[in-house]
Amino acid sequence: MKIKLNGIFVDDQQKALDFYTNILGFKKKQDIPVGEFRWLSVVSPEGGDTELSLEPNANPAAKTFQEALFEQGIPITAFEVDDLDAEFRRLSDLDVAFTTEPTSAGEVTYAVFVDTCGNLIQIYQLGSE
């Protein structure tokens, strides 16, 4: 059994594609029309073949779940980075809003930002001071 696909809800798929590719730097993997929506996924350019699906939050249950986490400040998922401080500076320069600046938590340093699609995303660096 392998984890090859993960998904998050987004409030607008085109806006999400723009953010996850142009700002975060992921690459588009799948983009297949499904009715009025799309089967849309991105992958990391740094290797690995796990896809992140950007799913529409059209279902009211999905929207409620997504908004509750967002308003409580809870990240929907987390991405690993090699250099958290550099990534924090790069994204800040691109006007990405952070709710948590780089913070040490023992073996991990993490930060949290807004993905403009209704989610908070955590980025973390392992093994940092």
Partner 1 sequence: MLTKDRLIRLCGARDQLRNVGYAEVSIDEVAKSAAMSRFHFVRQFKTVFGETPVQFRTRMRLDQAKHLLIQSDDSITDICMAIGFSSLGSFSSLFSQRLGQAPSMYRQKFKQSIEMFSPDCMVIMRGAWENDSQISRSAVASE
What residues line the site for partner 1 (CB under 8 A)?
11-12, 15, 18-19, 35-36, 67, 70-71, 73, 95-99, 101, 114, 116-118
Looking at the Cβ atoms of 2 and 71, the one nearer to partner 1 is 71
* Cα torsion 27, 22, 69, 129: sign: positive
Hey, is 126 helix, strand or coil? strand
> Residue 66 Cβ, how far from partner 1 at the closest point, in Å?
11
Max CA pair span of the chain: 48
Residue among 83 and 101 whose Cβ is closer to partner 1: 101
Of 27 and 37, the one with the shorter C-beta distance to partner 1 is: 37
Structural element, H or E, at residue 16? helix 13-18
